[in-house]
Amino acid sequence: MVLHGTVPTAVSRTWSAAHHHVIEFGARWEGTFRDITARRGRGRLMTDPSLLVTRPALSDPGLLFRRDGAEHEPLSVLAPCPNLESAPIAWDALAGPYSRELLSVLDARGYAGIISGFDVDHIDTPTTWAAQGMSAGSPFGGAHVFRQTGPFRRRNLDPRYPNIVLAGSGTVPGVGVPTVLLSGRLAAERLGVTRHRH
Ligand SMILES: Cc1cc2nc3c(=O)[nH]c(=O)nc-3n(C[C@H](O)[C@H](O)[C@H](O)COP(=O)(O)OP(=O)(O)OC[C@H]3O[C@@H](n4cnc5c(N)ncnc54)[C@H](O)[C@@H]3O)c2cc1C
């Protein structure tokens, strides 16, 4: 689940973690993995959340802008959660209260003022991803398990369909923007496109 919005820089400037991406680990990190990856019907929300806090304006100050007369920066908070098969959660009802709980966790971990300062404009949940056709409401396709990672990811050539070359996070070498760009390059090479021709 991801919260997207903005925060006044007067609030975020006081936070000690000032990086583009920060992962705020909870102490129960391994238990958290078990919570969210449990098999069908057994998954649950993290009992001790580990959260990804993303502040892209720290890399690109051009993203700062004025909102309601004050300087703001974009802010996203990502909370790993079970997919809809693991836990068929009624996200439409839960998203609001769960967001408030997560912001309280961050406030207690040093993000003072985030509860009232973070203007959340948009929330993505597994229900959002499911509505876009993603299986079990998971935007990551194959799981991040060893046998589906890197070179073991689905190949980008399928012998049954010789005129199709796959590219993107569902195929080799997997999830992530740099990885997906590599996947595009591999696909281009499979098509016989050489570097000097594009
Ligand atoms: C919440 C979240 C956070 C992430 N954070 C990071 C991060 O910090 N760093 C990082 O490197 N990676 C991150 N990733 C992973 C990264 O975003 C993906 O691996 C990458 O975007 C996948 O690229 P793609 O081109 O395969 O697919 P996408 O970027 O999903 O692009 C597929 C496009 O196809 C379109 N589409 C789908 N079906 C159709 C159709 N039938 N007709 C026409 N268009 C269609 C979709 O609308 C979409 O625009 C994150 C992913 C998620 C979900």
Read off the pLDDT of residues 72-118 as tens digits, 9 standing for 90 and up. Answer: 999 999 999 999 999 999 999 999 999 999 999 999 999 999 999 99
Answer yes or no: is 173 within a domain: yes
Q: Are 123 and 156 within one domain? A: no
Mean of pLDDT values over 158-180: 91
Q: Is 12 within a domain?
A: yes
pLDDT over 50 (residue 162): yes
Whether the per-residue pLDDT at 193 is higher than 80: the answer is no
Residue 115 CA, ligand 1 centroid: distance in Å: 29
Whether residue 153 sits in one domain with residue 123: no
Residue 30 pLDDT greater than 90, yes or no:
no
CA distances from 188 to 164, 181, 183, 193, 195 (A): 11, 11, 9, 5, 9
Residue carrying structure tokens 């509860």: 115
The string of DSSP letters for 29-98 reads HHHHHHHHH-STT-----SS--EEEE-GGGT-GGG-EEETTEEEEEEEEE-----TTT----HHHHHHHH
Closest C-alpha to ligand 1, atom 1: 2
183 has pLDDT over 50: yes
Structural domain tally of the chain? 2
From 180, 181, 183, 186, mutation site for ligand 1 pocket: most ligand atoms within 8 A of C-beta:
180
Q: Is residue 198 part of a domain?
A: no
Given a cut of 90, whether residue 140 has pLDDT beyond it is no
Q: What is the mean pLDDT of the chain?
A: 93
Ligand 1 centre and the CA of 116: distance in Å?
A: 30
Please give the share of the chain, as a percent, with pLDDT higher than 70. 97
| Structure tokens that stand for 101 in this block | 């709980």
* Within a domain: 156: yes
Please check whether residue 61 lies inside any domain of the structure. yes
Asked if 152 and 180 sit in the same domain, the reply is yes
The pLDDT value given to residue 56: 98
pLDDT of residue 198: 45
Residue whose CA lies nearest to ligand 1 atom number 12? 176
pLDDT of residue 196 exceeding 80, the answer is: no
Range of the domain at 154: 145-192
Residues having CB closer than 6 A to ligand 1 are 2, 78, 139, 168-169, 175-177, 180
